[in-house]
Amino acid sequence: MSEATMMSVPLTLERIVERAAGRLGHVEVVSRRPDRSLHRTTYGKVAERARRLARALVAAGVKKGDRVGTLMWNHAEHLEAYFGIPLAGAVLHTLNLRLHPDEIAYIASDAGDVLVLVDEVLLPLWEKVAPRASGVRQVIVVGASKPPAAPMLDYEAFLAGADDATPLPTLDENDALGSCYTSGTTGRPKGVIYTHRSTLLHTLVTALPDSLDVSRDDTLLPVVPMFHVNAWGLPYAAAMVGAKLVFPGPHLDPTSLLELMEGEQVTIAAGVPTIWLGIRDALEKQPRKLASGVRMVVGGGGAEQLIRDFDRLGLRLIHAWGMTETSPVGLVSRVPPELAGKPDDFTYQLRARQGVPPPLVEVRVRNEAGEVPGDARTSGELQVRAPWVAARYADGATPERWTDDGFFRTGDVATVCPHGFVALTDRVADLIKSGGEWIASQQLESALMAHPAVQEVAVIGVPHPKWSERPLAVVVLRQGQQASPDELRTFVADKFAKFWLPDAFVFAESIPRTSTGKMKKTDLRAQYKDWAWA
């Protein structure tokens, strides 16, 4: 029998919304509107409107556990939905507006969304989704410049109709709070359900100084979309600690982002590498005055070169790793004090690794022989366990992704260095099998990215009559720069075994990307499947 000597206060989102409404009520929330103007509000007003949204949803018949979709850019109303939908006992289901309409419809139907909040500027997209998302009973238009066509409702009118007397449901910490679908580069996207408890614990830990380090002194710009794993949980972390939030709306080009960073004195910005590549180029062309000490969080592959380039520009990139299934934060790379002061090359290599788990996250890297040694060489699959890692998919699909002792098999291939830093070398699916040996494409990519003429590069395995597969590098050169295949091969030759080096280099205008900015290697493999090896 346990001794229940302490209070059992449920870890629900109410705790964060209460603070936002009260103690942190004055803190600003800034959003860029589609017309580029800046809208200013506060956590207090957002929380108050979120509670109205919750009551209006309950009055509209939304029941506990119902899925409510959002098809929106990053802005204050989306934050209201982040708060209000879970307060109504419903599940915040963020829909990825970059997907094909058929895919959005599949996901909305699979989740069982009953009501959807849609940005007015995204109505043309919603019109293509709607015929195949028949479960959606009600559409509410956010940011409407004119009354929406019936039966759609205007968000402001919907809020105005809320009655303070409508009771909100009692929440349990294990109730579902939100849902995201995996990006599905292979197979159908699968739903992941976050609970209040998992979200609260993830929020607490991501805000810690050695994690993403968010405090009330910060101004945070989530460039990462709110439909992509809850913008890495940053809106909740900002609201918990009282950091000012700045939302970019639909304007994600480097000039608009830099203008926001400069104008609002942003201290933390978070996004995928493609965003930072654009920002780097813009800053190199035209240096700007950004808040001193500005930090940027990068997920999804931060090549060492990018980290070095940003240091040179006076900005600091923090590399982190995560997945939809892991809420997402699972690894963060920061140089610990005992390793500070080592030579530059060492610290850059460490910072380019995906990092170490924050508190409450357990990771291990395993192959057929068991757990890999910390030699930075032997690779295996990264497995993870934490209170904010999914225990299953919403529909129970692919139970083999979980080990018998409760770890999630990430599908990422990794090594561990003597200091315990995990580095991803590849996705299991992207490994190249050459003459019975494995070649890790991401390691080649990181090395090639260090060449000054290289903007982006994808290395893929292409069928080969003798070796079964050989690596081919698809290279995008930086504007006005040149490099020959021989030069590129020589540039990385001393870093890898000879058989690892790409046999061919092709130059392309761009690399195909998924809706969340990841390289779409399936497309590249299809494109080069008939490559004629010399």
Which residues are at the interface with ligand AMP (CB under 6 A)? 182-183, 229, 299-301, 319, 321-324, 328, 354, 410, 412, 424, 427, 516
Residue nearer to ligand AMP on the CB measure, 54 or 306: 306
Smallest distance from ligand AMP to CB 86, Å: 21
User: Shortest approach of ligand AMP to residue 407 CB, angstroms?
Assistant: 14
Residue by residue, what is the 3-state secondary structure of 521-532? HHHHHHHCCCCC
Q: Tell me the closest approach of the beta carbon of residue 229 to ligand AMP, in angstroms.
A: 5
Q: How far is the CB of 323 from ligand AMP (least distance, A)?
A: 4
Comparing CB distances to ligand AMP, the nearer of 182 and 349 is 182
Whole-angstrom Cα distance, residue 73 to residue 77? Answer: 9
Spatial contact of 158 and 77, defined as CB atoms under 8 Å apart? no
Nearer to ligand AMP, 178 or 328 (CB): 328
Residue 466 structure tokens: 């003798």
Query: Of 24 and 307, which CB lies nearer to ligand AMP in the complex structure?
Result: 307
What is residue 426's three-state secondary structure? strand
Taking the C-alpha atoms of residue 47 and residue 23, their distance in angstroms, rounded to an integer, is 12
The helix/strand/coil state of 367 is: strand
Min dist. Cβ of residue 258 to ligand AMP (A)? 23
Exposure string of 16-49, with b = 16+ CB inside 10 Å and e = fewer, is bbebbbeebbebebbbbbbeeeeeebbbbbbbbb
In angstroms, give the least distance from the CB of 380 to ligand AMP.
15
Rounded CA-CA distance 361/329 in Å is: 9
Cβ closest to ligand AMP, residue 143 vs residue 225: 225
Is 182 an annotated catalytic residue?
yes
CB of 125 to ligand AMP, least distance (A): 20
What gap in Å lies between CA 426 and CA 445, rounded to an integer? 10
Determine which helix (DSSP H) or strand (DSSP E) holds 281, and give its type and residue range.
Answer: helix 273-285
Nearer residue to ligand AMP within complex by CB, 182 or 267: 182
Task: State whether residue 267 is helix, strand or coil.
Answer: coil
* CA atoms of 514 and 185, how far apart (whole Å): 8
Q: Is 146 a catalytic residue?
A: no
477 contacts: CB under 8 Å, gap ≥ 6: 453, 454, 455, 483, 507
Distance CA 330, CA 320 (A): 8
Active-site position among 45, 64, 433, 495? 433
Choice among 94, 182, 203, 410 that is catalytic: 182
69, 90 contact by CB (below 8 A): no
Nearer to ligand AMP, 183 or 203 (CB): 183
Catalytic residue among 438, 469, 522, 531: 438
Residue number with CB closer to ligand AMP (178 or 301): 301
Half-sphere exposure of 408 (CA within 13 A, CB side): 23
Residue 416 burial (C-beta neighbours within 10 Å; 0-12, 13-18, 19+) = buried
Q: Chain centroid to CA 345: how far?
A: 28
388 annotated active-site: no
Per 3-state DSSP, the chain is made up of helix, strand and coil in percentages (nearest 5) of 30, 25, 40
Give every strand in the sheet of 176-181, ordered side by side. Answer: 153-154, 138-142, 113-119, 67-71, 91-94, 176-181, 191-195
Strand blocks (E) in 258-344: 268-271, 295-299, 316-322, 329-333
Q: What are the residues facing 471 on neighbouring strands? A: 461
Q: Which is nearer to ligand AMP, 114 or 180 (CB)?
A: 180
Q: How far is the CB of 410 from ligand AMP (least distance, A)?
A: 5
Least gap, CB of 382 to ligand AMP (angstroms): 8
Q: Is the peptide bond before 151 cis (omega within 30 degrees of 0)?
A: yes
CB of 517 to ligand AMP, least distance (A): 9
| Positive or negative torsion for Cα 434, 440, 441, 446 | negative
Q: Which residues are catalytic?
A: 182, 325, 433, 438
